[in-house]
Chains A and B, each alone.
Chain A
């Protein structure tokens, strides 16, 4: 299971331009999505720490619920949906590309 350095199979993969395309595109997706989640979450935490009043605001004049609740729920739901986005692309297009690379390499 531990391959020696410069295994010829891996060398062949590295020479395949599709591999670099896969790495570039999938890494970009992962980075963008991570950034969305982390920036969103830490922005929220900064509001919690420095401007809590914003989250105390009622949703409307008669409402008891504050805007903080839907915002918090949205963070949970949106981050979950982003895992769906990542899985969709990774298991679709990127997995097909990976399978192609594997096939071409092991031929």
Chain B
């Protein structure tokens, strides 16, 4: 393996971490991250956000009576609201900080990355959204196990969801602790506990209604903050993109090279594997899929993707403008560099350009606002994750598998609340345990497992008549083992965690290989399966197909 390969793998590793979880990257710098002085305006604004969202949770609690209210807000969220909430799930602290810092550091390469992060949305709409809505009830396992063995496939799908939820929760918790330590000047453990407690309160009392509104408010704040910041940045350059570009070329150490593709995605295999992981991993994240069950019908589900991708695309374009503007405004200002040395290490680490930009353009007050929004963002994402995890435990494992559908709604609700509490405690404990770890590999795992374990069974159950229980199980296990193995052999674990000199698997994202393997194994094993149950499962496809296309039978699920 050439040195260039390793370098590419290493930079892809860093970039993937930056993008999917800025915080994870920050975790790598633990040693260098100094606790900042307590930022009162940021804390004040964050408290205002918390008070408002707790008010909403109180209101939501009075409306959360049934399991359907709890898991899916009773299917009563409109397409527009859900679009904002989906956009909120996608516009994480990672996208604001990570994408803008990528553009700040690499110019056009950061933009290419942004585009790769976006194009999954249209595909989700064209191929998945309405079938998800028409077939699903509360969880992704509902769809996976629709015509397959309830006990086996539901258990497997629930475990797949829980794995993804736990990995991603750790990433978010560690990120929250680091970011809050940095921006608010609060202690790491305090920050993690605050996030854990608020998450449990939102989810156990307010269920999906509160979680959705927390997400919507945060999305609006993030969009508003981004637009205001872009406006201030553009005003510095006479509202001319040309002027921003000219000035950026003059300020950046790579000069005119930042105006086109550089070394970042020069290796097509890395690029394709990464984009597959982002594309299908995102589509199969349990907390994103769950959002499709909160709308009353397929019509609203489609609308919500249209709105969501509009908001996301717009936000991404703004983030790129911010990154380009920061090259000049932050990149040439000694106050943002350690020791005042321009071109050296940015204060707070590589993910901070947009925060420094806020300070440069709007002073401490605006910096405080943006910090509060970043905190709110993490809070909203972990709440969605906790809810998805709780539904996998209470709805799939407890109500369907253990009690075989005999549990009363009251019992299921109780289990789901206990489950959210347990997930909250687990998240805090793991968040604290992983404080000093580099958790970048967990990001690769989250998306790799989602794309290689959840996605194949999801898409094949909807599109391929021949899928059988045995095939789905074999393929899922193959996807899980290969995704985990490849991540362990990649730079993020093999070199960074295990201190080996070079990675055995040269790419950061395993999806191209593990997802392909999962599909092949699923299809081959399904084809070889000649059992009686397999025959019945294939026959059941026709009815499932009608429901997935028309929603007949699903309408009842939405009318409560």
Contacts and interface: CB of A to CB of B under 8 A. Distances in A.
Contact of A68 (B261, B313, B553): B261
Given A55-B260, A79-B121, A79-B309, A102 B552 contact: yes
B112 interface: yes
A83 B550 contact: no
Contacts of A76: 114-115, 118, 313, 316-317
Most A CB within 10 A of own CB, among B267, B271, B313: B313
A88 to B, nearest CB: 9
Contact of B259 (A2, A68, A83): A68
Interface string B283-299: 00000000000000011
B130 interface: yes
B543 A10 contact: yes
B481 to A, nearest CB: 28
A33 B172 CA distance: 34
Interface string A53-82: 101111000011110110011011101101
B550 A5 contact: no
A6 interface: yes
A54 B202 CA distance: 50
Interface residues of A, number: 61
B112 A72 contact: yes
Nearest to A31: B126
Interface in B540-559: 540, 542-543, 546-547, 549-553, 555-557
Contact of B245 (A41, A65, A90): A65
**B interface: dominant SS:** helix
A64 B249 contact: yes
Contacts of B118: 76, 79
A74 B272 CA distance: 20
A5 B539 contact: yes
B261 A55 contact: yes
B111 to A, nearest CB: 5
B411 to A, nearest CB: 18
B265 A19 contact: no
B550 A64 contact: no
A44 B267 CA distance: 14
A56 B547 CA distance: 49
A104 to B, nearest CB: 11
B194 interface: no
Nearest to A27: B549
A3 B542 CA distance: 11
Interface string B331-373: 0000000000000000000000000000000000000000000
A53 B316 contact: no
Interface string B12-38: 000000000000000000000000000
Interface of A: 1-7, 9-10, 13-14, 19, 22-23, 26, 30-31, 33-34, 37-38, 41-42, 44-46, 48-50, 52-53, 55-58, 63-66, 68-69, 72-73, 75-77, 79-80, 82-84, 86-87, 90-91, 95, 98, 101-102, 105-106
17 contacts: A1-B556, A5-B542, A37-B119, A38-B119, A46-B268, A52-B261, A64-B245, A65-B259, A72-B111, A76-B316, A83-B122, A86-B122, A87-B303, A90-B130, A95-B298, A101-B552, A102-B552
Interface of B: 108, 111-112, 114-116, 118-119, 121-123, 125-127, 130, 137, 142, 146-147, 150, 241-242, 245-246, 249, 256-257, 259-262, 265-268, 271-272, 275, 298-299, 302-303, 305-306, 309-310, 313, 316-317, 536, 539-540, 542-543, 546-547, 549-553, 555-557
A-B residue pairs, 5 tightest by C-beta: A56-B260, A52-B261, A66-B259, A64-B246, A64-B245
